[in-house]
Structure 1
Amino acid sequence: MFSPILRRRFQNTGTEASSSLIHGWFLAIFTILCLSIPTDASAQTYRFTSVQIEGNQRVEAGTILTYAGIARGETVSAGDVNDAYQRILGSGLFETVSVEPQGSRLVIRVTEYPTINKVAFEGNKRLKDEDLAGFIESTSRQVFSPTKAERDAAVIVEAYEQNGRVNARVTPRIIRRSDNRVDLVFEIFEGRLTEVNRIGFVGNRDYSDRRLRRVIDSKQAGLLRALIGRDTFVEDRVEFDKQLLTDFYQSRGYIDFRVTGTNAELARERDAYFVTFNIQEGQQFRFGEISTVSDYEGADADDYQAVLKIKPGVVYSPTLVENSIARMERLAVSQGLDFMRVEPRITRNDRDLTLDVEFVLTRGPRVFVERIDIEGNTTTLDRVIRRQFDTVEGDPFNPRAIRESAERIRALNYFSNSSVDAREGSRPDQVVIDVDVEETTTGTLSFGVSYSTNGGVGLNAGFSERNFLGRGQTLSANVSASSDNAQYSLAFSEPAFLGRDVEFGFISSLTETQGETNEPFDTILGAFRPSLTFPVSENGRLALYYHASYGEMDDYFGQFRDDPTTVPIEPNGILATEATQGGLFSSGLGYNYTYDTRRTGLDPNSGVLLSFGQEFAGLGGDREYVKSTARIIGQTRVLNEEVTLRATLEGGALNFFNGQESRAIERFNDQIIRGFEPNGMGPVEGTEHLGGDFFAALKFEAEFPLGLPEEYGISGGAFYDIGAIWGVDTTNAVGPVASTGFKDRHVVGVSLFWESPFGPLRMNFSQALKKEPGDIEQTFDLTVRSEF
């Protein structure tokens, strides 16, 4: 007999033994099964005696077999079959691919990508279809590729980003057509312009944000943002702005200036950027001691020192150093000293903030220009680009001269992009100059409507081409007409006449008027003037010209006519007498000399423009006279270049000979000072203004900011003008003639300047402080702003 406890232990032991036996049998069976199943797919092999390809229409079966890489009768593994599938699919020729082993036969089924029937764009307004088509790779009659379509969509997005639309989205979609064709449609969401809402600067001490914003090309979004393109954010433009800032500061002696970084933050709404330039101005340096030494045999250092124009104490500028080197090298060429190089050695004096410059005359390497290769010009002739080089094939190579030529090519404004690089030629002592340009539009066609209180509504049309027939010539034509006048003009210029630095040009014009308010007679004025203009010094140019003109006064209807409805038997008054002379011809020669230091002066903030000319008539024709005019303008910027001060002095004299007297259409009668109407001051008979044989004017003006946001483009000004017109023959006078002698007028006023999308406009509000009886005041006038 077993006790209950022993009985339970026995039973448990039996159960555990049975369970262990069952587990052992299962483990053995599982091991056998695992050993019977291949653990490596590559262990299974195939041997295909035939390969069947299905579904291909355009792609040859042999091409598919080449991608597969499986030959008939070759033993291959399952992994090789999978690799064949991946290669066929990776060719980009098929939309779907399947590779199925069927015994000794391999079946490859493919679905080819469709052919593009046409490419279309939907939703685009800012960029035209033809422009977008030029960006993408996908074209009609091409096999559709999803990868290429996605790549094209990204290119289109980038094009919109370059136009300031960073929110643009492009989705490529296909529309199935018959015969395995599709239409590829790019659905475009252009989004709003991403504007530059604010431009700021950090680290500037000497120049205000307002001044620096005028330096850079990027602009803040203004009132007329829909018409101004420069207020959109373009990353490449910001990089260009950094260079503009560097040039600005370095030209003013800040040699340590650098832009430490830029930060462009996108607003939460993704419709505006906040751009910040982090800068370090450094200290302003001036020229210290200027000296010249010669290591070149035959070059006298004193001769080269004498041609320098920079003096100690002048604000340092790399441009002045470059101009000095150019001046020295030109002297070397004139002395027959080839390969002479001028090396500026600069010594920095931090104690007194000066830079000593020692110009060292050395012999450069004997390297010649082998040839000049020009590419990219489809319209512009090679010779137009080539004449910007002072260097020709066979000349000594001068890197500085090549850089100057590159600047002249860019200054033509014929090209949207240009580059000039030098590389080694066929021999180590020769170089090839590569010029690569990208042309842009150079012609304009304009139509407009004008209105004046005197002439009423007028229409005008104009044509201008700066690169006529790709020859670098300028051709312009204009026609304007209103109810009582018509004007026609034609102008042409050739900047390199006979291949030399001589500009040939001509201007012809015809004007017809019918009794305007201040002219009680009809006129016909015709002029033709060919000219030759050439440099006579670094800053001076001389123009020589021939002039032929015709002037006719007729149909006088002024105040001294006995009966305005009939032609009087005898003329009454000065203008009436002059009108009876009919048409008169004049012919003669003239010259005009201009001296301009604005681009090459020592001070980037100051400049002088001097102009003097004389016109001699008597070379045939009916008139004999000498007409002299002179003008001098000086300008400077003060208060950290925030305020511009300008003074102008001008005058003229008209002298007739052999008993002849001037007529109203020949005398000075334009608006010489503000505050008076054209032909509204000077000698007057009764109520008829006569003009004068002499005039003089002295004008002072200032331009300054008004504290308004720069994006408005509005600034202010103030002026004070003094002027007079006098001198007229009174022999035929009927009524009293006033102001025949010098009587100065004084005018004070304020101006508003607006950099509008239509051009720089100027509004003058003036008040005459001193005037004479008969003068016609003009308290407000709107003109196109002219830059000095």
Structure 2
Amino acid sequence: MDGNQRIETGTILTYAGIARGETINAGQLNQAYQRIVSSGLFESVSLEPRGNLLKITVKEYPTISKIAFEGNRKLKDDDLSGFIESSPRQVFNPEKAERDAQTIVEAYEQNGRLAARVKPRIIRRSDNRVDLVFEIFEGGAIEVQRIGFVGNRAYSDRRLRRVLESKQAGLLRALIARDTFVEDRLEFDKQVLADFYAARGFVDFRVTGVNAELARERDTYFVTFNIEEGQQFRFGEITTISEINGVDPDIYQNVLKIRPGVIYSPTAVENSIARMERQGVRDGVDFLRIEPRITRNDRDLTLDVEFAIVRGPRVFVERIDIEGNTTTLDRVIRRQFKTVEGDPFNPREIRQAAERIRALGYFANADVNAREGSRPDQVVVDVDVEEQPTGTLSFGASYSTSSGFGVSVGLRERNFLGRGQTVAASVSVGADTVNYNLDFSEPAFLGRDVEFGVGFSYLETDSDNALYDTNIGTFRPRLSFPVSENGRFTVLYSARYSEMDNYTGTSGILARESAESGSFASGFGYNYTYDTRRSGLNPNAGVLLSFGQDFYGVGGDLDYIHTSARVVAQTRVFHEEVTLRATLEGGALTFGSGSNSRAVDRFSGQIIRGFESNGIGPAETNGTTTEQLGGNYYAALKLDAEFPLGLPDEYGLTGGAFYDIGAIWDVNTAGATGTLSSTGFEDRHSIGLSLIWRSPFGPLRFNWSTPLKKEPTDKTQNFDISIATEF
């Protein structure tokens, strides 16, 4: 035996399968050679018979001293190290190194870089050691040039492209990763297309194929989805039957919200089953299950749904096991389950809990599965999560046509100390303003579905849109809890300090208010919101309602009631290409005896487009100078339409049109030295067009406005830039 340094002689003889004193022929000698080579331990092997002596000479593979990557920019060394089999202090194996190179290539292909090439090389060192270096040519990312559809009639290509996770290459593509071709993403796109059509009654929809064609230059893909939409179905007859003695089906029928004639949606059926099962829990019926039995009526394109109340198997939850959470506390995950150990097992509730865990945003992956427990009538729910960063540090710059340029810095942690709490702090500095904000939120106060939060803000302005300075500080602790499926109620305490000084204008009213010292207001309030956008039966429409009041006068210097209300309704028409939205909002300040409002309390912002912030409402004129005073009441109605412009989707540009009606009125006239105007209700009207750009930096809205009805003292504004509101 010759050449072996690390490998024992006995080990080599074992691979060879030859014993001393054994007679062998040429075939057996060749088999021994192959067995030694296939061990992967030797760079070269030779077997030389010398009479009664067989000399085996080997050259051992070197040991890997270190592994390096060269040429990689898009994938970091740590990521690549996790893909490969080779590792330092192992014996170098050329076949394994080639497999590692191919694995790295596949990783780049998953990131859309199909032209990537990887070549393993070795650098020999002393003592039979080598450095393994993977030379990487990443190549360029192959983008998706065009996404098309074949077979769609109900919805346009443009509408369907908005559903997909994959996107076409477009402007500022360096900031958008979803226009890179990733084959696995197409499978996800097929599922979201199916979900999109199913939610709109197309129960026979299917994707018959996806063609991804690589351009001749191998630098771009053309993706085509072949689909069959089928017919759109609506709900037919809705009935409920009971197969459990003592359970009245009429009670469960009454909790249903779906009605005949409505477009069929599996989500609506699932929501109905959940409502009926919750009713069963309230009635104390264990192991109640709802089976939807659907009858198809092709003649009138309806689906009759019969909800059958049946007794499910007697299976209990033995325990809930949670793994993978290194930071997040177990209780944060457990409270997403409405089921605890010992409760009857409900598969639907477990699926919903899994969705709630994923919706937290704390985990990159969250798998929830049920398996048989220690007995056939028990199950164990396994929760396997993978943590991801939940903190963000943001820096930003802004521009407002009313306030000029500004900068901001913010820090936000959505899972503070792994407790599921949110802590946020931010500072914004503009040309004439400084704004500090601090907020804390506990979503499960005392282990209940009650959110406790506390917020603090401080705003300081230096002649910001007025001829005076302001300082406003607010402290607001709050408790919020659900009162219905779509309703939520908040109770709060509010402490507010405000002052205005350094007035340099001509208004007698503002001069009197500025001469007053700062005031402190303290009181309690409430707010009710009703939101059907997520749980409503119609995926194309929704309503958001908010109403709240603050009752100041519990201590402090002021006695008044602050009331605010807002209603937003939206729907999509013309095959969901056009969005129609109506917003009605208003506010009122009602002061008690001995208290009067000041400019820092009154409504004065931009309530409708076409006018500046603090550009309408009561005004006082002295000579040639007119100053806005703000008002104790305001109301506004905004009608919006958004529509496609026919431009390529990748530009992210859509058009808009709007009609706004609004007014600000009522002010305390004490101290006036000039002529007052618009103190009563006088509505203003404006009309305009918008360009909405869904940019990588957020949705921006450019408005061109024309006032149709205004007052001589109003300050108009024909153009403004704002953040586009997403309903």
After TM superposition, give the deviation of residue 753 of structure 1 in Å.
Answer: 1.0
1:331-370 correspondence runs (5 A): 331-370=279-318
Counterpart position of 1:35: none
Q: Does 1:690 align with 2:629?
A: yes
SS of residue in 1 equivalent to 2:583? strand
Amino acid corresponding to residue 658 of structure 2 in structure 1: F
Partner of 2:56: 108
SS at match of 2:418: coil
- The residue aligned with 1:653 is 588
SS of 2:250's equivalent in the other structure is helix
Residue correspondence of structure 1 range 632-647 to structure 2 within 5 A: 632-647=567-582
What is the rounded CA distance, in whole Å, between the counterparts of 1:198 and 1:415 in structure 2?
32
Deviations 1:281-319 (A, max 9, x none): 111111111111111112101111111111110111011
SS in 2 for 1:226: helix
Code of the residue aligned with 1:291 in structure 2: it is T
Counterpart amino acid of 1:584?
A: S
- Tell me the alpha carbon deviations over residues 390-437 of structure 1, each in whole angstroms, 9 at most, x when there is no partner: 111110011111111111112112222222111111111111111122
Structure 2 residue aligned with 1:721, among 648, 660, 663?
660
Q: Which residue of 2 aligns with 1:759?
A: 698
Which residue does the alignment assign to 1:579? 514
Question: How much does 1:124 deviate?
Answer: 1.3
Match of 2:485 in 1: 538
Structure-2 residue corresponding to 1:679: 614
Opposite residue 4 of structure 2, the aligned amino acid is: N
In structure 2, the partner of 1:787 is 726
What is the aligned partner in structure 2 of residue 485 from structure 1? 433
* Secondary structure in 2 matching 1:708: coil
Shift of 1:387: 1.0
SS at match of 1:663: coil
Q: CA deviation at 1:105?
A: 2.0
State the shift of 1:452 in Å.
Answer: 4.7
Which amino acid counterpart does residue 699 of structure 2 have in structure 1?
Answer: P
Q: Secondary structure at the match of 1:231?
A: coil
Q: Which runs of 5+ in 2 are unaligned?
A: none
In the alignment, the residues of structure 2 paired with residue 609 and residue 215 of structure 1 have an alpha-carbon distance, to the nearest angstrom, of: 23
2:715 match: 776
Q: Kindly tell me: are residues 275 and 502 of structure 1, through their superposed partners in 2, closer, same or farther at Cα, counting changes over 3 Å?
A: same
CA distance in structure 2 between the aligned counterparts of 1:141 and 1:161, rounded to whole angstroms:
29
Provide the aligned C-alpha RMSD in A.
1.3
- Which residue of structure 2 aligns with residue 663 of structure 1? 598
What is the CA distance between 1:456 and its match in structure 2?
A: 4.9
Q: 1:720 to 1:482 in 2, by over 3 A?
A: closer
The residue aligned with 2:556 is 621
Task: Tell me how far apart the structure 2 counterparts of residues 260 and 688 of structure 1 sit (CA, whole Å).
Answer: 67
Query: Which of residues 412, 418, 423 in structure 2 aligns to 1:470?
Result: 418
TM-score (norm 1): 0.90
State which of 652, 672, 676 in structure 2 corresponds to 1:737.
676
- Structure 2: how far apart are the matches of 1:644 and 1:211? 12
Structure 1 gaps, min length 5: 1-52, 561-572
Query: Residues 401 and 720 of structure 2 are in contact (CA less than 8 Å); yes or no, is this contact kept in structure 1?
Result: no
Partner in structure 2 of residue 224 of structure 1: 172
1:698-729 Cα shifts (integer Å, max 9, x gaps): 11010000000111111101000000001100
Please state if 1:524 is matched with 2:471: yes
Structure 1 residue aligned with 2:528:
593
- Match among 70, 73, 91 for residue 125 of structure 1: 73
Which whole-Å deviations, capped at 9, do the CAs of 1:59-95 have from their partners, x for residues lacking one? 2222222212222222233322222211111111111
Identify the match of residue 542 of structure 2 among 607, 615, 622. 607
- Match in the other structure for 1:440: 388
Q: Secondary structure of the equivalent of 2:174?
A: coil
Q: Output aligned runs, 1:57-206, within 5 Å.
A: 57-206=5-154
Corresponding position: 1:748 with 2:687? yes
- The structural deviation recorded for 1:439 is 2.2
Q: Given that residues 67 and 131 in structure 2 are in contact (C-alpha distance below 8 angstroms), is that contact kept between their aligned partners in structure 1?
A: yes
How many residue pairs get aligned? The number is: 723
- Hey, what's the Cα distance between the residues in 2 that align with 1:366 and 1:771? 71
Question: Please, which of 339, 345, 359 is the counterpart of residue 391 of structure 1?
Answer: 339
Q: Deviations over 1:663-715 (max 9, x none)?
A: 11111111111111111111111222111100000110100000001111111
| Greater gyration radius | 1
Which amino acid letter does the alignment assign opposite residue 152 of structure 2? Answer: N
**CA distance in 2: counterparts of 1:313 and 1:296, whole angstroms:** 29
Helix, strand or coil at the partner of 1:229: coil
1:207 maps to what in 2? 155
* CA displacement 1:236-265 (0-9 Å, x = unmatched): 111001110111111111111111111111
CA deviations 1:521-556 (Å, max 9, x no partner) are 111111111111110001100011111111111222
Q: CA deviation at 1:139?
A: 2.2
Of 502, 512, 521, which aligns to 1:555?
A: 502
Task: Classify the secondary structure of the residue corresponding to 1:775.
Answer: coil
**Residue type at the aligned position of 2:475:** F
The Cα shift of 1:357 comes to 0.6
CA distance in 2, matches of 1:246, 1:147: 43
> One-letter code of the match for 2:470?
T
Identify the residue that residue 276 of structure 1 maps to in structure 2: 224
Q: 1:233 aligns with which of 175, 178, 181?
A: 181
Deviations for 1:6-50, whole angstroms, at most 9, x for unmatched residues? xxxxxxxxxxxxxxxxxxxxxxxxxxxxxxxxxxxxxxxxxxxxx
**Distance apart, 1:474 and its partner CA:** 1.2
**CA separation in 1, counterparts of 2:654 and 2:252?**
45
CA distance in 1, matches of 2:272, 2:687: 43
Q: Distance in 2 between matches of 1:314 and 1:285?
A: 9
Q: Deviations along 1:318-356, whole A, 9 cap, x unmatched?
A: 111111111111111001000011111111111111111
Q: Name the SS for the 1:152 alignment partner.
A: helix
- For the 8 Å contact 2:71–2:136, the answer to whether it is kept is yes
| Aligned-pair CA distance for 1:775 | 1.4
Say whether residues 1:461 and 2:409 are aligned partners.
yes
Equivalent-residue separation in structure 2 for 1:546 and 1:489 (angstroms): 17
Distance in 2, matches of 1:715 and 1:311, equals 35
User: Cα deviation per residue 1:356-387 (whole Å; 9 max; x = unaligned)?
Assistant: 11111110110001111122222222211111
1:328 lines up with 2:276 in the alignment: yes
CA spacing shift, 1:202–1:409, aligned 2, 3 Å:
same
CA distance in 2, matches of 1:543, 1:456: 35
CA distance in 2 between counterparts of 1:131 and 1:689 reads: 60
1:704-719 to 2 correspondences below 5 Å: 704-719=643-658
Partner of 1:401: 349
Read off the aligned partner of 1:647 and give its amino acid letter. Answer: A
Looking at structure 1, the residues matched to 572 and 117 of structure 2 have their Cα atoms a distance apart, in angstroms, of 47
The alpha carbon displacement at 1:98 in A equals 1.0
